[in-house]
Structure 1
Amino acid sequence: MIGHESAEKAFLEAWQSGRLHHAWLLAGPQGMGKGAFAARAARFLATHGRGGDGQEVSLDDPGDAAAAKLVEAGNHPEILHLARQVKDKSKDLARNITIDQVRGIIRRLHLSLSLGDWRIIIVDAVDDLETDGANALLKTLEEPPARTLFLLVSHSPGRLLPTIRSRCRILRFQPVERDVMTTWLHDQRPMLDAAEVRAVAAASGGVPGKALLLIDSDVSAMEKKLLAIASSGDPGNRLREALAREVGGTSNRARLELVIDIVPVLLARLARDRPIAEIAPVLAQWDQVQRTMRDAIRGSYDGAMIGFAIGNCLAELARRERSAAR
């Protein structure tokens, strides 16, 4: 994994000292691999015992072989998970982690450990807890059972109950620097040309998971479609309507997120390539795109409508250029 070095160091130092805090909040943008870090930390605790002997280790050290096999098979009895569940007769996930799910985990905490020295509860993501579930979890965090450790994954820690945050030690997962991201992407996808890797690294905002999604979604092809709108103005709406169809609907949510990710970077690049006197119109559309995306994130929205609105912002650039030329 990339971008986990400081978090791993802090976690292992606490384990080595024998003073491992009972609750850890893994905070950072979605796509930083926080869930993967939680899984690594849980595996480590399940295979390495209490700690406190100061030995030098890494999260990926093998530890107890029998326990490791159980973890790899997903059958270790002391690693418990809380996450949104798939709805009945549907492939969609439920909106929240329910109070009943939390109560089921809490009942397990009253049982004696059956294997190893730790019971680990991974909540991915704690942002998804419904209100009653968050309050129930808080009570357990305030009076945790012995040898129980919580790993709470959060993409938006500022939205959590302050009392939950205050009970946790926070591990922050910061976006990766662009040069580090570029090198990593070259290693992950050596078949890509340098220009595309640089474009993906810039559009990803330093988030590795987002970078891989951008590559798999063919960012270069989408950029060409967006640039065609910005350069032509799309006088007959044909390109904007095609964009709306491509990103509309639940099945096309990944394409919509791709557009949302790359349009601000695309506009910033267009601004850099223009004379100073011509930058203002690009910045105005950049601001409009940001407002459009904020409105989209706040509520239930139609992807086709958002795609068309973003297309309008790009088409406006061409219209302003033609007006300035006259």
Structure 2
Amino acid sequence: MMFERIAPEQHDTLEGIAEPSENALLVGHAEAAATLASAYRAGKLPHALLLAGPRGIGKATFAYHLAYHLLRHPAAAGAPEMLAAPDTDSPLFRQIAMGAHPAVLHLTRPFNDKTKKFATLLTVDEIRRVNRFLSMTSHDGSYRVVIVDPADDMNTNAANALLKNLEEPPARTVFLLITHSAGSLLPTIRSRCQMIRLQPLAADEVETVLTALGMPLPDDAGKRAALLERAGGSVRDAILLSEFGGLEIADTVDVLVGGASFDFAKAHRLADAVSGRDNEIRFDLMNAHLLDIVTQAAGKAAETGEIARAGNFARVFQELRIAISDTDTYNLDRKQHTLNMILRLHDTLRM
């Protein structure tokens, strides 16, 4: 049976893979789901939740399942003890999936009709839609849900605009902020949200999702295990690693940034491989892996009490994000960007 997409295309849409809004399968995160379902039944659901965890583990899918649960059961006291499994044939599910439900606002990188490309950041104009959304009366008195996906993509103006909404939240409204790197958000935003840390999926859980999606896995048990281990509990990473050359790109980047000396020849070969006109996904994979390396390094430094080192990595993270955005916005040389960023990270890890 062929996959039929009903959700709007997003900046990170993968062909043949369901968007979070249309994904009825939520694997893992049972403890977090039970905690929030219980809080809702007790009338104690926080007005803002920060769903934090690595990219591709199901945070956005979790957000949409929570939204479905709130709208499917507007009377909190009678809601089930676990998140309601979406009925894919119901008008409610299809409305939410299509982005057409009046009680759900999904904020992400907008599409630019002039450039025919998605923006590289979540802009303040998108966040301003919240005020118009909240000014409308809920049609049946149920919750209104604002999903910011991911909050990491907000520029400073957008973050400050959202902060105003978080400071004075309307009744029966919940903000679900998705973040791959909570430390990159404004402290004032973090302080106004309850953090829900979602953990990477187990290898067998990733395999379950891939099988449900109809994604082929290596027949060789060793190669399959290596792929699942490298995916690090992320379904999205597993797909990208297996289908778009991400495994080879990540391996090459790791060797380059982790080497005692910098291999310029290998760096040039990688830059050539990811910077061509038809290599959008490979270029994005390379950038995403660089950001993941910095995020993990910052986290390890913070855990060991190396505050100055963690702060340095946080600055590098922002520099990388700006460089990625500028390269896309101003159509800069992608090969030079790749060389600059890999060398920058190699030198930073040596400090």
TM-score w.r.t. the length of structure 2 is 0.65
Question: Residues 63 and 32 from structure 1, CA distance in 2 versus in 1: closer, same or farther, beyond 3 angstroms?
Answer: closer
Q: Comparing 69-78 with 113-122, which one deviates more in the overlay?
A: 69-78
CA-to-aligned-CA distance 1:33-55 (integer Å, 9 cap, x gap): 21122122112212211312363
Which amino acid is 2:45 matched to? L
2:323 is aligned with 1:300? yes
Whether 1:199 aligns to 2:226 is yes
- State the shift of 1:296 in Å: 8.8
Aligned length: 277
Counterpart-to-counterpart distance in 2, 1:298 and 1:119? 31
**1 or 2, which has the higher helix percentage?**
1
Secondary structure, aligned partner of 1:149: strand
Deviation at 1:179, TM superposition (A): 5.8
**Bigger shift: 299-308 or 243-252?**
299-308
Distance 2:127 2:341 in 1: 40
Note the C-alpha offset of 1:77.
Answer: 0.7
Q: Deviations over 1:87-142 (max 9, x none)?
A: 23223222322223222221221221123511111111112222222122112112
Aligned to 2:83: 58
**1:208 corresponds to which of 220, 226, 235:** 235
- Which residue does 1:254 correspond to in 2? 281
CA distance in 1, matches of 2:109, 2:71: 24
Q: Is 1:79 equivalent to 2:89 in the alignment?
A: no
Larger radius of gyration, structure 1 or 2?
1
Pair 1:144 & 2:144 matched? no
1:19 aligns with 2:29: no
Q: What is the identity, as a one-letter code, of the residue corresponding to 2:323?
A: S
Q: For residues 31-46 of structure 1, what are the structure 2 equivalents within 5 Å?
A: 31-46=56-71
* 8 Å CA contact 1:122, 1:150 repeated in 2: yes
CA distance in 2, matches of 1:97, 1:259: 21
User: What is the deviation of 1:219?
Assistant: 6.0
% identity of equivalent residues: 36
CA contact (8 A) 2:240 2:246 kept: no
1:252/1:109 CA distance change after superposition, 3 Å: same
Query: Is contact 1:2-1:208 (8 Å) kept?
Result: no
Aligned residue for 1:245? 272
Q: Is the 8 A contact 1:25 1:153 kept in 2?
A: yes
| Alignment CA distance shift 1:104-1:303 (3 Å) | closer
The structure-2 alpha-carbon separation of the partners of 1:165 and 1:304, relative to structure 1 and needing over 3 Å to count, comes to: same
Aligned-partner SS, 2:81: coil
Q: Give the whole-Å Cα distance in 2 for the aligned partners of 1:252 and 1:83.
A: 23
In 1, Cα distance between equivalents of 2:251 and 2:165:
52
Q: Distance in 2 between matches of 1:311 and 1:102?
A: 33
The correspondence of residues 281-300 of structure 1 with structure 2, limited to 5 A, is: 297=320, 300=323
Residue in structure 2 matched with residue 283 of structure 1 by the alignment:
none
Corresponding residue SS for 1:52: helix
Task: Report the Cα distance in structure 1 between the residues aligned to 2:89 and 2:322, rounded to whole angstroms.
Answer: 47
Corresponding residue of 1:172: 197
Match of 2:8 in 1: none
RMSD: 3.9
**Deviating more after overlay: 83-92 vs 23-32:** 83-92
Task: For structure 2, list consecutive stretches of 5 or more residues without a partner in the other structure.
Answer: 1-25, 257-264, 294-312, 325-332, 344-351
